[in-house]
Amino acid sequence: MSIKMPGSRSRHNYHPENEGLVNKQINMEFHAYYVYRSMASFFSRDDVALPGFAKYFKEEAEGEKTHADKFIEYQSQRGGRVVYKTIDKPQRDDWDSPLHAMECALELEKQVYQSLLDMHASAELHNDHHLADFLEDYFLRHQVETLDLVARYITKIKRVGDGLGIYMFDKELQC
């Protein structure tokens, strides 16, 4: 015998499109977590041995997991239902070089940012001021700062070159 559960009592002015976009964002944040963990694992290998890059990407992974958790909590608070989807694995396990990994990270962060902007536009379209404020307070500013930081890291990596330069930059990331 199955018991039919009543709908959420806390749900108010939460458009189904926005609920779906929050679920999509949860999945995207978990995917970003996987990608960054993959990068951290690559740079931790004994044949790569760049512990600063490993540390940086591990911290980024934890940040993405925290973001997913924040969206899960938000979905519940708004009376929405969290729908877990299959998380795509990273497109690769071998990241070639620190420059290549950072360029991939920048592209990933741009995708995450665009998804957040699309969700914000939907929130405004459906007069969901709470969702718009939530995104502005917790995610949009942080995302712009992350894009800027990764872009600066790419510039530094190109400037220092391979060999001793990348070794010194890796040391900087260890701090």
- All residues at 6 or more sequence positions from 14 whose CB lies less than 8 Å from its CB, including other chains: 78, 79, 80, 128, 131
> Known binding site for Fe cation: residues?
29, 64, 67, 109, 143
User: Is there a contact between 53 and 170 (Cβ–Cβ < 8 Å)?
Assistant: yes
Residue 120: HSE in the Cβ half-sphere, 13 Å Cα cutoff: 16
Q: Which residues are annotated as a binding site?
A: 29, 64, 67, 109, 143
Burial class (CB in 10 A: 0-12, 13-18, 19+), 64: buried
